[in-house]
Structure 1
Amino acid sequence: MHIRRFLMVALVVGVASIAAAQTFNPRDDIKPKDEESTVSNDRLPDPLSGIESPAEWPARREQIRQLFATEMFGNVPTDKLNAIKVKVKVKDQGTRKSIFGGKATMWQPVVTLAGRDLQLLIFLPSESKDTPAFLAYNFHGNHTVLDDVDIPVTEHWVRNKPGNRASAQDRGNGASRWAVEKIIDHGFALVTLYYGDVDPDFDDGFANGVHAALADKPAGDQWGSIATWAWGLSRVLDYLETVPEIDEQRVAVMGHSRLGKTALWAGANDERFALVISNNSGCGGAALSRRRSGETVARINTAFPHWFCKNFAHYNDNEAQLPFDQHMLIALMAPRPVYVASAVEDTWADPEGEFLSAKHATPVYQLLGSEGLPAKEMPAVDQPSQGSIGYHVRSGGHGVTDFDWTEYLKFSSKHLLNK
């Protein structure tokens, strides 16, 4: 049965070769293998297989997107969601507070979605109108983004906390990842929310979060948590379309690690996102699965079975049979600008595999009349390459740093400001 599935989906792909080798280190949430990772020499599927002109790309793009939806992330159960009449509804517009010496405003509207209250945290340059914005989830609650007593502590489930509950002691402990004042100084707004407001990040058979509004467990090709988080970002964008201070046509979606995977899938599904940023997203994000370097498909499906749809488990230790690889996920953004960032010590996320994805997505951008990634070889550490695809591998390990935000702002200013 599985062989038939693999033969059918393989008909839609072509090839382009790669070979590389790399060892890996773990992140703190998964124990690694003791031996050196093996790196596959399997050839990559061609995102441009069967097409020769830009006019043919939209159909091919949808074919690729549907493959990712069916075999990896899962399809959104639109019929079931429509049946429960899911809508984005503002529950409380909130009060506005002047911060940073009056050069910015902090605003906290609440959006209600499928019975879940999504507490937004919005930072706006003063006197904003039609301002470009970054939209990104945070990992442990809005109160960790900035140390401000007016930001409520989330009451939802939080990972890696005693009793899975946040506390006021966590205020501002994630501020170094956000560069809020720098974002404001560059003329951008920042919109963030806690990803657990949409769907808590643990496996309980999809009975929590937005899934609780649905009557049954997802089928084999139905959304996992990453697809749910991505869907939630689109619903927040629905709301931002009603906010006069923000230009909904210049919203960049950004994410780190598992939320970098989420940002890529959100950008692939929702072309309203004008720019997409993947920070250290690794396996299931920007890194090529066929390399089997660092985290692998089998390891990620075992550790986080709720992230992807059930069908993705068919490719555990079987990456060569995937009808796509992650360069094709990046290609789904074309011709919109996309940035992929790695960290040299974050070998669990396979920096070279992330670079190769950006490189092998470039032919799609070139077909559509855009530059893609200028670098032909992997750039030196802390030496970004930026075209319509951007890439850097910076010093240090898994995280979001001031260096990352400096490059994201440079890239986003080039593509989103004065447009």
Structure 2
Amino acid sequence: MRILFFATFFLMIVFNLTAQNRKSAELKLPDPLLSENGITITKIEEWKSVRRPEILEMVKKLMYGISPEAPDELKFIVFDQSEDALKGKAIRKQVAVYIPGKTDYHLLDLLIYLPKNIKPAPVFLGLNFQGNHAVNSDPKIRLSDKWVWIGAGGSIKNHPTEKSRGAVSSRWPIEMILKKGYGVATVYAGDLDPDYFDDFKNGIHALYPELQNREDNFSTMGAWAWGLSRCMDYFETDEDIDSEKIAVLGFSRMGKAAIWAGAKDQRFGMVISNESGGGGAALSKRKVGEDLARLNNGNRHWFSKKFKEFNLNEEKLPFDQHMVLSLIAPRPVYIASAEVDPGSDPEGEFLSAKLASPVYNLFGITAFSNIHFPEVNRPMLKEGMGYHIRSGTHDITKYDWEQFLKFADLNWK
């Protein structure tokens, strides 16, 4: 029976790869360097003043939705600081971010670990799934007061307890990152918007009801990305942090948010997407894995109402994710995939980066212009662009982080 199972599984993979190759050959994708009035962009200034604003406005209106302007001011309260965290290996800071008003609104808690011997330090920033306390067993991390997904596969909503400390520490190898000379900062995504549909009445959407009764409404993906930019607002005030070397990073749905944050906010110095799949790095028009119908029907709060018009109708979409990635240029971007993760469409993730390369070329960066889909566990680290597909399933692992650190060294050191 076991032999029959593996034979069937192997044939399914072969069939899927053949179908994917056929889909790739049939794709008709819009050119990121062809403006709406039919002019080919050949100069950096044309990209900045004409084509980049066109693409940005298009994806806002049709996919991610509009977001509010940054608040005129934010209040940052460092409620915890230790020069001797993690058994003397790190500086720990915990920062509560508030939007001032009649009653200050507690926007998020930002957890930061910094290497002790580097100031200002470059930092990896990412959203987490289960609360800041879940990324490390450090007992000083404040427990989230929001609900989190717990249980097998995230099946139950509940408030966290002491038992949940360090629950996802394997995804955040903080000591390894610190040893390489980088800091780590993270925020619980549920601080910004809980990951379930309630018609945009909870989280920060409640502060901006005027942005909901419209087709390009303020979405959950927009809220998560907007919150990452508010973390950048804090970094610009902290002399211990190199705000010009912030890598915004995300795994799975948080990888989708990281791409959108980095595409919109050019203050982020690097963008890293780990298995973000449909609505992230993967090309929508391939219709492989997480297609738009599955994406929008299963998680109808993630993107704008308008985006649902392209369910089972990807051909009508006037852009694709390679154009979202192109908005990151010339800042470095890294895309990571996993071999046993067909839902994220690894080849579609790679192709998206490759098809964004012509925009990087404008800036004198070769990127992936002449690169083919790599072998498993053979990372490609180029100036401005990186990619790997590793063995294993949908997760973010030590191996992934090792490549991100090498890529940061290549581009920043």
Deviations 1:50-94 (A, max 9, x none): 21222211120110111111000001133xx7xxx5632113442
> Do the aligned partners of 2:222 and 2:257 also contact (CA within 8 Å) in 1?
yes
Give the structure, 1 or 2, with the largest relative contact order (CA under 8 Å, sep 6 or more).
1
Which of residues 189, 200, 203 in structure 2 aligns to 1:195? 189
Letter in 1 for 2:29: L
Q: Paired residue for 1:124?
A: 114
Q: Distance in 2 between matches of 1:375 and 1:38?
A: 20
Report how far residue 36 of structure 1 moved.
Answer: 10
**CA 1:336 to 1:313, structure 2 compared with 1: closer, same or farther past 3 Å?**
same
CA separation of 1:336/1:271 partners in 2, compared to 1, >3 Å: closer, same or farther?
A: same
User: Pick from 134, 144, 150: which aligns with 2:134?
Assistant: 144
Residue 38 (structure 1) shift: 9.2
Whether contact under 8 Å (2:275, 2:338) holds in the other structure is yes
Tell me the CA shift for residue 39 of structure 1: 4.0
Find out whether 1:45 has 2:30 as its counterpart.
Answer: yes
Letter in 2 for 1:69: K
Aligned to 1:108: 94
What are the superposed Cα offsets for residues 255-312 of structure 1, whole Å, 9 maximum, x if unpaired?
0111101010001100000000000000000000010000100111000010001110
The 8 Å contact of residues 123 and 184 in structure 2, kept in 1 or not, is answered as yes
Query: Secondary structure of 1:94's partner?
Result: strand
Aligned-partner SS, 1:328: helix
Q: Report the counterpart of residue 260 of structure 1 in structure 2.
A: 255
1:413 corresponds to: 409
State, as a whole percentage, how many aligned pairs show the same letter.
44
CA positional deviation for 1:37? 12
Instruction: Tell me how far 1:333 sits from its aligned partner.
Output: 0.7
Q: 1:280 aligns with which of 275, 280, 283?
A: 275
Displacement of 1:374: 6.2
Q: Shift in Å at residue 128 of structure 1?
A: 3.7
Counterpart mapping for 1:7-18 below 5 A = none
The structural deviation recorded for 1:161 is 5.7
**Structure 2 unaligned spans of 5+:** 1-13, 35-39
Residue of structure 1 in register with 2:80 after alignment: 94
In structure 1, give the amino acid aligned to 2:192.
V
The 3-state SS of whatever aligns with 2:355 is helix
Normalised to the residue count of structure 2, the TM-score between the two structures is 0.88
Letter in structure 2 aligned against 1:73: Y
Alignment correspondent of 2:16: 23
Pick one of 289, 295, 300 that aligns with 2:290: 295
Q: 1:60 aligns with which of 51, 54, 70?
A: 51
What does residue 400 of structure 1 align with? Answer: 396
Superposition RMSD in Å: 2.1
Deviations 1:312-332 (A, max 9, x none): 011000101111011111111
Q: Contact 1:38 / 1:292 at 8 angstroms: preserved in 2?
A: no
- What is the CA distance between 1:129 and its match in structure 2? 1.5
1:193 CA displacement: 1.0
Normalized per residue, the structure richer in strand is: 2
Give, in whole Å, the separation in 2 of the partners of 1:210 and 1:268.
21
Equivalent residue number for residue 37 of structure 2: none
Deviations 1:306-363 (A, max 9, x none): 0001110110001011110111111111111000000010110000000100111111
How far the C-alpha of 1:22 sits from its partner, in A, is 6.5
Q: Does the aligned pair in 1 maintain the 2:358–2:369 contact within 8 Å?
A: no
Alpha carbons 1:373, 1:385 under 8 Å: kept: no
2:159 corresponds to 1:174 = no
Q: Does 1:332 align with 2:327?
A: yes
Q: Could you say which residue in structure 1 is the equivalent of 2:199?
A: 205
Shift of 1:97: 4.9
Q: Secondary structure at the match of 2:393?
A: coil
CA deviations 1:3-24 (Å, max 9, x no partner) are xxxxxxxxxxxxxxxxxx9739
Give the structure 2 partner of residue 14 of structure 1.
none
Is 1:157 the counterpart of 2:147? The answer is yes
User: What secondary structure, in the 3-state scheme, does the structure 2 residue paired with 1:261 have?
Assistant: helix
In structure 1, stretches of 5+ residues that fail to align are 1-20, 25-34
Partners of 1:414 and 1:376 lie apart in 2 by: 18
Query: Any runs of at least 4 consecutive aligned residues in structure 1 with deviations exceeding 6 A, and if so which?
Result: 35-38
Conservation of the 8 A alpha-carbon contact between 1:183 and 1:190: yes
The residue type paired with residue 188 of structure 1 is: Y
Determine the C-alpha separation between the residues in 2 that align with 1:161 and 1:94.
32
Structure 1 residue 215 displacement after superposition? 3.3
How far has the Cα of 1:155 moved from its partner?
Answer: 1.3
Describe the shift of the 1:177–1:375 C-alpha distance in structure 2 as closer, same or farther (beyond 3 A): farther
Report the Cα offset of residue 118 of structure 1. Answer: 1.2
8 Å contact 1:128–1:246 — kept in the other structure?
A: no
The one-letter amino acid paired with 1:138 is N
Q: 1:232 aligns with which of 219, 227, 233?
A: 227
2:380·2:388 contact (CA, 8 Å) conserved in 1?
Answer: yes
Contact 1:122 1:189 in 2 (8 A): yes
Distance 1:197 1:168, change over 3 A: same
Deviations 1:188-229 (A, max 9, x none): 111111011011111001000111112343411122101111
